[in-house]
């Protein structure tokens, strides 16, 4: 199996590249050090900027951009995450040069036209309104606000109506100038074309990117606040509720990062794991049940997601809290741990079965400041995790007594039962 | 991957959702691998696995390292032959499916609107009821019904096994023979036939749901995927709503700013299905106005056909989509499984790309005239509940 290589181009760009001969297709990814944490007081500004980049550079209308991409047989998406912006593209290999050239113009010379800003703003406001229809999206948004409050992690990536209305063209120009720098751009390409050809095309396309780099704002790490708090997001006429039970978790740089990842899988990442077995297998309470461990630059979260019937929601939350307490006190069972490790090691083959996937993994490592071959040490790191290390990591990072519970559903059916949950100090009902 | 030629279109009234429910039951265990053991065994080898059911088929898939093939075949063959259906598992799985239905349909505006559209468009054919089934039917599932379903539909003549990856073909066939060779050949029973009578007038329903703005769903009667016109209509649909350069998408979402989102989707069904158009209106915008724009755009395509540039762009997008889906081993296996189950034989990637390349502007114009007709469509208008 071939492996990605790292190239610093003569123009000073960082590229991870692997030649891929299986299909006449070029896959492209750019991880840009930016993201919603850079929004400051203008929640949603980075996402709005990403949308406007897609609308074209000076001298090219949005319609022309879309038509050009289509005629090249290309797909392009710009995704704003919390701590990065990711540009994904695929193009028929014969059109790779033209695609890179267009992409360079989109990112280096954005027009950021006032007319386009007004249009995108109206569109995002429509989408924010539509998001209120979806209980899962509402649960995610409210749970983050419940957990993180005014911290940058508590702000929605897309912003909210007031903040989006307040974003000015100058805000976007400043954001672009501050973060769009060569040292903040990490390119990954898998393609049938040889690297020399791509390097020349990439340098040519991105020659206009200013040099230098800019770190993301340093985020404060939150501490647990004691007491279990419940937030009910009122939705009348619902048969069931979207339920999130979680606590603050850990940062990417936590020394026990691998132990936490393995522990999360052992607890709620597999069909056979205790969370899924207890909630879905034994009781049939929720079609889906899973735990999600997020790791950020600062301390992130650990959350269990289920959607039980309203009259079982409090019982489901109680069961999840009990399982959380047990994990923190005792760690996973030897059997659950063994299974999670075997799964994580065995399934790795599926993460590296195409050049595009291998390239993205290597690129991710570089973005995090790790060596290019960091992904190759994966199996050894997983194998080395001990049960005791997991228990200690969860005991240090997770506090079940400070859990935050968010339920989207009918408060009339939910509130009383949640008030009776052990350790609950506060129940509030909010509007979506 | 195991593909079984049974889906929700094969279900009798009163027993809707049984194909999907049985898909869930295929994970409950056998005498040899008691409940939970199947999942544990696959997870222990690092397999990604799950299943899916739609109108024409049920698919079970597992992706894993090649060296684990024999273990997977052993597990897969065992559950196809020796599934143990206990009352307790059926009761628990019934609750899970009720929860799934609530999540995806009853508490979901788009899920509910989609269900309404298909019910409106298909009055007799099995495509008219939801794959997950009506709630009243789900509540009635029992062991006898499930066993009868399995006996009728889970037969060797109805199933296809697809193995893709870096493998020795001869050795793989020997392994398949070793694990599946004990199955007895069964007579292939014909599938339930309930042809949909021709639709001669537009059908329309207006409903109120907990939405933030109006929604519009339109279903135009469309050809089966086995017909050449299916690909022609796919190109026509792509010209209108294939991403941001689709003319109708651009008009409704980007230029006139009537809708927040718009999609077009052609059902890949073995029998005649729908070309579905879905719009989420911006707050305060009316679905009725958007319908007028949809009509005008379709009339333009039917009257003048596409420009050569637009057609070439649509073909380039199709080529990209086909190449992208062939990138991983599971995508390739899925394509073969679908082809064998629905089309009767696998198609090569080149043949697939050539089929799109051969579509002409005249073809598109003819298909737009034939299928984008008001008399052959069903329309669902969703109005927000008063706050």
Nearest to B46 among A240, A272, A342 (CB): A342
B44 touches chain A (CB under 8 A): yes
pLDDT of residue A419: 97
**With contact defined as beta carbons under 8 Å apart, do A409 and A237 qualify?**
no
> CA angle B189-B272-B55, nearest 5°?
55
pLDDT in tens, chain A (432 residues): 689 999 999 999 999 999 999 899 999 999 999 999 999 999 999 999 999 999 999 999 999 999 999 999 999 999 999 999 999 999 999 999 999 999 999 999 999 999 999 999 999 999 999 999 999 999 999 999 999 999 999 999 999 999 999 999 999 999 999 999 999 999 999 999 999 999 999 999 999 999 999 888 899 989 999 999 999 999 988 889 999 999 999 999 999 999 999 999 999 999 999 999 999 999 999 999 999 999 999 999 999 999 999 999 999 999 999 999 999 999 999 999 999 999 999 999 999 999 999 999 999 999 999 999 999 999 999 999 999 999 999 999 999 999 999 999 999 999 999 999 999 999 999 999
**3-state secondary structure at position B263:** strand
Distance separating alpha carbons of residues B316 and B192, to the nearest angstrom: 39
Q: Give B283-314 pLDDT, tens digit per residue.
A: 999 999 999 999 999 999 999 999 999 999 99
Give the residue among A43, A292, A50 at the shortest CA–CA distance from A153: A43
Asked if A288 is an interface residue toward chain B (Cβ–Cβ < 8 A), one would say yes
Which pLDDT score is estimated for A313? 97
pLDDT tops 80 at residue B189: no
User: Could you give the C-alpha distances from A77 to A30, A306, B53, B244, B252, in angstroms and in order?
Assistant: 11, 30, 30, 11, 20
How many angstroms separate the CA of residue A345 from the nearest CA in chain B?
Answer: 7
All residues of chain B having their beta carbon less than 8 Å from the beta carbon of residue A342 are 43-46
Structure token pair of residue A390: 């997991």
pTM of the model: 0.93
Band (B276; pLDDT cuts 50, 70, 90): very high
Sequence-distant (6+) residues with CB within 8 A of A369 are none
Using DSSP's 3-state secondary structure scheme, residue B276 falls into strand
Interface test mutation site (partner B, options A60, A70, A309, max chain B beta carbons within 10 A): A70
For B86: left if phi > 0, alpha if psi spans -120 to 50, otherwise beta; the answer is: beta
- Residue A425 in tokens: 């100090």
The mean per-residue pLDDT over the stretch B268-276 comes to 97
Q: How many A-B residue pairs are in contact by the CB < 8 A criterion?
A: 165
Which one, of B328, B303, B173, B301, lies nearest residue B247 by Cα? B301
Three-state secondary-structure class, residue B292: helix
CA distance A252 to chain B (A): 24
> Torsions phi, psi of A252, nearest 5?
-55, -35
The residues that bridge with A91 in the sheet, in sequence order, are A26, A74
Size of chain B, expressed as the number of residues it contains: 387
Which pLDDT belongs to residue B328?
84
ipTM metric? 0.92
B154 SS3 class: coil
Strand partners, A88: A29, A77
pLDDT of residue A49: 97
The pLDDT of residue B27 is above 90: yes
pLDDT at B173 over 90: yes
Range 321-350 of B in CB contact (< 8 A) with A:
323-324, 326-329
CB-count exposure of residue B292 (10 Å: 0-12, 13-18, 19+): exposed
Interface mutation target, options B25, B43, B322, chain A, most CBs of A under 10 Å: B43
Mean pLDDT of B68-81: 95
Residues of B in contact with A344 (CB under 8 A): 46
Most distant pair of Cα atoms in chain B: their distance: 66
pLDDT given at position B4: 95
Q: Are A249 and A255 in contact (CB under 8 A)?
A: no
Structure confidence at residue A324 (pLDDT) = 98
Instruction: State the average pLDDT over residues B240-246.
Output: 91
Q: How far apart are the C-alpha atoms of B215 and B205, rounded to whole Å?
A: 12
Helix (H, G, I), strand (E, B) or coil at B132: coil
Q: From the CA of A187, how many Å to the nearest CA of chain B?
A: 20
Q: Can you tell me whether residue B52 is helix, strand or coil?
A: strand
**Residues of chain A with C-beta less than 8 angstroms from the C-beta of B139:** none
Which residues make beta-bridge pairs with B221? B274
- A317 at the B interface (CB within 8 A)? no
B154 φ, ψ (degrees, to nearest 5): -90, 75
What CA–CA distance (Å, rounded) separates B290 from B142? 46
pLDDT at residue number B244: 87
Alpha-carbon dihedral sign for residues A336, A338, A341, A347? negative
* pLDDT reading at B186 higher than 80: no
Give the DSSP letter of residue B198.
P
pLDDT at residue number B192: 80
List the 49-68 stretch of B: residues with Cβ below 8 A of A: 63-65, 68
What does DSSP assign to residue B327? S
Residues 6 or more apart in contact with residue A280 via CB below 8 angstroms: A286, A287, A288, A289, B96
**DSSP 3-state assignment of B42?**
helix
- What's the per-residue H, E or C state across chain A? CCCCEEEECCCCCEEEEEECCCCCEEEEEEEECCCHHHHCCCCCHHHHHHHHHHCCECCCCHHHHHHHHHHHCEEEEEEECCCCEEEEEEEEHHHHHHHHHHHHHHHHCECCCHHHHHHHHHHHHHHHHHHCCCHHHHHHHHHHHHHHCCCHHHCCCCCCHHHHHHCCHHHHHHHHHHHCCHHHEEEEEEECCCHHHHHHHHHHHCCCCCCCCCCCCCCCCCCCCCCEEEEEEECCCCCECEEEEEEECEECCCCCHHHHHHHHHHHHCCCCCHHHHHHHHCCCCCCCEEEEECEECCCCEEEEEECCEHHHHHHHHHHHHHHHHHHHHHCCCHHHHHHHHHHHHHCHHHHCCCHHHHHHHHHHHHHCCCCCCHHHHHHHHHHCCCHHHHHHHHHHHCCHHHCEEEEEECHHHHHHHHHCCCCEEEEEEECC
In this predicted model, what pLDDT tens digit does every residue of B102-152 receive, in sequence order? 999 999 999 999 999 999 999 999 999 999 999 999 999 999 999 999 988
Cβ within 8 Å, pair B324-A90: yes
Task: Give the model's pLDDT for residue B339.
Answer: 94
Does the pLDDT value for residue B7 go beyond 80?
yes
Q: Name the DSSP class of B103.
A: I
Of A66, A280, A353, the CB nearest to B328: A353
d(CA A407, CA B141): 30
- Tell me how crowded residue B182 is: count the other CB atoms within 10 A of its CB: 9
B318-350 residues labelled b (16+ CB within 10 A) or e (exposed): bbbbbbbebbbbbebbbbbbbbbbbeeeeeeee
Task: Categorise residue A35: left if φ over 0, alpha if ψ from -120 to 50, beta otherwise.
Answer: left
Q: What DSSP designation does B158 have? A: G
How confident is residue B48, by pLDDT bands cut at 50, 70 and 90? Answer: very high
């Amino acid at each position: 199996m071939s492996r990605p290589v790292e190239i610093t181009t003569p123009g000073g760009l960082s590229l991870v590249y692997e030649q891929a001969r299986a299909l006449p297709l070029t896959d492209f990814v750019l991880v840009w050090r930016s993201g919603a944490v850079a929004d400051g007081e203008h929640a949603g500004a980075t996402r709005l900027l990403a949308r406007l980049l897609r609308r074209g550079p000076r001298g090219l209308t949005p319609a022309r951009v879309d038509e050009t991409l289509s005629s090249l047989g290309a797909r392009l998406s710009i995704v704003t995450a919390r701590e990065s912006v990711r540009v994904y593209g695929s193009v028929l290999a014969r059109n790779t040069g033209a695609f890179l050239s267009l992409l360079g113009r989109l990112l280096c010379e954005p027009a950021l036209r006032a007319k386009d800003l007004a249009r995108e703003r109206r569109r995002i406001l429509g989408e924010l309104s539509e998001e209120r229809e979806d209980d899962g999206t509402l649960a995610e948004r409210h749970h983050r606000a419940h957990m993180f409050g005014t911290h940058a992690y508590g702000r929605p990536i897309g912003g909210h109506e007031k903040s989006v209305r307040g974003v000015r063209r100058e805000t976007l120009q400043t954001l672009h100038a501050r973060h769009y720098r060569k040292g903040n751009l990490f390119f990954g390409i898998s393609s049938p074309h040889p690297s020399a050809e791509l390097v020349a095309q990439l340098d040519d396309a991105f020659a206009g990117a200013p040099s230098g780099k800019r770190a993301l704002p340093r985020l404060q790490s939150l501490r647990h606040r004691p007491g279990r708090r419940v937030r009910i997001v009122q939705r009348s006429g619902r048969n069931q509720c979207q339920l999130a039970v979680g606590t603050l978790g850990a940062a990417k740089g936590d020394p026990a990062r691998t132990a936490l990842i393995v522990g999360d899988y052992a607890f709620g990442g597999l069909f056979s794991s205790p969370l899924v077995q207890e909630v879905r297998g034994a009781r049939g309470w929720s079609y889906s049940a899973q735990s999600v461990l997020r790791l950020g630059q600062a301390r992130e979260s650990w959350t269990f997601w289920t959607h039980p019937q309203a009259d079982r929601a409090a019982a489901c939350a109680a069961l999840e809290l009990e399982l959380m307490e047990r994990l923190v006190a005792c760690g996973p069972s030897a059997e659950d741990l063994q299974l999670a490790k075997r799964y994580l090691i065995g399934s790795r083959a599926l993460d590296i079965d195409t050049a595009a996937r291998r390239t993205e993994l290597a690129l991710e490592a570089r973005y995090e400041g790790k060596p290019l071959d960091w992904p190759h040490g994966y199996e050894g790191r997983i194998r080395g995790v001990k049960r005791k290390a997991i228990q200690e990591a969860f005991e240090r990072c997770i506090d079940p007594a400070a859990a935050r519970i968010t339920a989207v559903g009918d408060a009339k059916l939910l509130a009383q039962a949640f008030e009776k949950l052990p350790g609950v100090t506060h129940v509030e009902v909010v509007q979506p | 991957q195991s593909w079984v030629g049974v889906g929700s279109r094969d279900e009798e009234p009163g027993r809707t959702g049984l194909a999907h429910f049985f898909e869930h039951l295929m994970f409950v265990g056998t005498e040899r691998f008691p409940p939970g053991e199947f999942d544990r065994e696959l997870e222990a080898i690092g397999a990604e696995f799950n299943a899916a059911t739609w109108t024409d088929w049920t698919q079970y898939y597992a992706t894993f390292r090649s060296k684990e093939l024999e273990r997977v075949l052993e597990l897969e063959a065992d559950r196809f032959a020796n599934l143990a259906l206990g009352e307790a598992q059926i009761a628990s799985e019934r609750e899970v499916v009720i929860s799934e239905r609530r999540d995806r349909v009853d508490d979901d505006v788009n899920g509910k609107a989609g269900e309404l559209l298909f019910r409106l468009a298909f009055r007799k054919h099995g495509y008219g009821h939801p794959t997950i089934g009506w709630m009243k039917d789900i509540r009635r599932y029992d062991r006898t019904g499930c066993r009868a379903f399995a006996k009728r539909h889970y037969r060797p003549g109805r199933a296809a096994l697809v193995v893709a990856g870096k493998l020795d073909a001869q050795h793989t066939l020997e392994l398949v023979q070793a694990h599946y060779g004990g199955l007895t050949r069964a007579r292939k029973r014909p599938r339930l036939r309930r042809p949909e009578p021709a639709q001669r007038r537009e059908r329309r329903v207006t409903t109120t749901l907990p939405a933030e703005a109006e929604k519009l769903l339109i279903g135009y009667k469309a050809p089966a995927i086995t017909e050449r016109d299916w690909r022609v209509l796919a190109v026509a649909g792509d010209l209108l709503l294939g991403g941001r350069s689709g003319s109708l998408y651009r008009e409704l979402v980007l230029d006139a700013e009537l809708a927040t989102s718009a999609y077009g989707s052609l059902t890949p069904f073995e029998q005649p299905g729908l070309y579905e158009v879905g719009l989420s209106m911006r707050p305060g915008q009316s679905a009725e106005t958007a319908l007028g724009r949809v009509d005008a755009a379709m009339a333009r395509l039917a009257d003048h056909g596409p420009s050569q540039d637009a057609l070439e762009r649509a073909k380039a997008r199709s080529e990209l989509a086909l190449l992208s889906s062939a990138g991983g081993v599971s995508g390739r296996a899925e394509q073969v499984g679908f082809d064998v189950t629905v089309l009767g034989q696998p198609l090569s990637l080149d043949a697939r790309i050539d089929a799109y390349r051969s579509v002409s502007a005249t073809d598109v114009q003819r298909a737009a005239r034939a299928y984008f007709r008001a008399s052959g469509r069903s329309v669902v208008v969703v109005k927000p509940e008063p706050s």
